[in-house]
Protein backbone atom coordinates (compact mmCIF):
# COMPACT_ATOMS: atom_id res chain seq x y z
CA UNK A 1 0.00 0.00 0.00
CA UNK A 2 1.49 3.35 -1.01
CA UNK A 3 1.53 6.19 1.56
CA UNK A 4 -1.42 8.02 -0.02
CA UNK A 5 -3.59 4.89 0.01
CA UNK A 6 -2.43 4.20 3.56
CA UNK A 7 -3.53 7.67 4.68
CA UNK A 8 -6.88 7.28 2.95
CA UNK A 9 -7.48 3.91 4.61
CA UNK A 10 -6.77 5.43 8.03
CA UNK A 11 -9.03 8.39 7.32
CA UNK A 12 -11.84 5.95 6.49
CA UNK A 13 -11.42 4.15 9.81
CA UNK A 14 -9.16 1.40 8.49
CA UNK A 15 -6.75 -0.44 10.72
CA UNK A 16 -3.02 -0.73 10.20
CA UNK A 17 -1.50 -4.09 11.07
CA UNK A 18 1.40 -4.01 13.49
CA UNK A 19 4.13 -6.11 11.89
CA UNK A 20 6.96 -7.20 14.19
CA UNK A 21 9.81 -9.70 14.29
CA UNK A 22 9.73 -12.63 16.71
CA UNK A 23 12.06 -10.82 19.12
CA UNK A 24 9.98 -7.64 19.00
CA UNK A 25 6.76 -9.60 19.63
CA UNK A 26 8.30 -11.42 22.55
CA UNK A 27 9.58 -8.15 24.06
CA UNK A 28 6.13 -6.54 23.78
CA UNK A 29 4.45 -9.57 25.35
CA UNK A 30 6.93 -9.52 28.23
CA UNK A 31 6.07 -5.86 28.85
CA UNK A 32 2.39 -6.80 29.18
CA UNK A 33 3.09 -9.99 31.12
CA UNK A 34 6.52 -10.07 32.78
CA UNK A 35 5.94 -13.60 34.08
CA UNK A 36 5.09 -15.10 30.69
CA UNK A 37 6.34 -18.59 29.93
CA UNK A 38 6.38 -17.94 26.18
CA UNK A 39 9.86 -18.33 24.73
CA UNK A 40 11.49 -17.39 21.44
CA UNK A 41 11.40 -21.02 20.31
CA UNK A 42 7.78 -21.44 21.35
CA UNK A 43 6.77 -18.36 19.40
CA UNK A 44 8.81 -19.44 16.38
CA UNK A 45 7.07 -22.82 16.47
CA UNK A 46 3.65 -21.12 16.43
CA UNK A 47 4.75 -19.15 13.38
CA UNK A 48 6.26 -22.11 11.55
CA UNK A 49 3.12 -24.19 12.12
CA UNK A 50 1.11 -21.38 10.47
CA UNK A 51 -0.85 -20.64 13.62
CA UNK A 52 -0.09 -16.90 13.28
CA UNK A 53 -0.26 -14.69 10.19
CA UNK A 54 3.24 -13.84 8.99
CA UNK A 55 5.54 -13.40 6.02
CA UNK A 56 9.11 -14.50 5.71
CA UNK A 57 11.55 -11.79 4.65
CA UNK A 58 14.96 -13.31 4.08
CA UNK A 59 15.69 -15.31 7.20
CA UNK A 60 13.26 -13.33 9.40
CA UNK A 61 9.64 -13.93 10.19
CA UNK A 62 7.53 -10.78 10.16
CA UNK A 63 4.51 -11.44 12.33
CA UNK A 64 1.13 -9.74 12.45
CA UNK A 65 1.32 -8.77 16.14
CA UNK A 66 -2.43 -8.18 16.47
CA UNK A 67 -3.16 -11.67 15.10
CA UNK A 68 -0.63 -13.12 17.54
CA UNK A 69 -2.39 -11.47 20.48
CA UNK A 70 -5.72 -12.89 19.30
CA UNK A 71 -4.22 -16.38 19.05
CA UNK A 72 -2.76 -16.08 22.55
CA UNK A 73 -6.03 -14.60 23.87
CA UNK A 74 -4.29 -11.66 25.50
Domain range summary for the chain, segments of one domain joined by +: 17-72
Q: What is the pTM of this model?
A: 0.76
Q: How much is the mean pLDDT over the chain?
A: 86
More confident residue, 59 or 7: 59
Beta-carbon contacts of 22 under 8 Å, excluding residues fewer than 6 positions away, are 40, 43, 44, 47, 60, 61, 63
Mean pLDDT of 35-48: 94
Percent of the chain with pLDDT over 90: 65
What digits encode the pLDDT tens for the residues 26-38? 999 999 999 999 9
**Predicted pLDDT of residue 16:** 82
With beta carbons less than 8 A apart as the criterion, state whether 23 and 47 touch. no
Distance CA 2, CA 40 (A): 32
Amino acid sequence: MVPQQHSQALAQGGKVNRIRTINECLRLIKVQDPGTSLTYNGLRKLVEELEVKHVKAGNRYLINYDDLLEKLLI
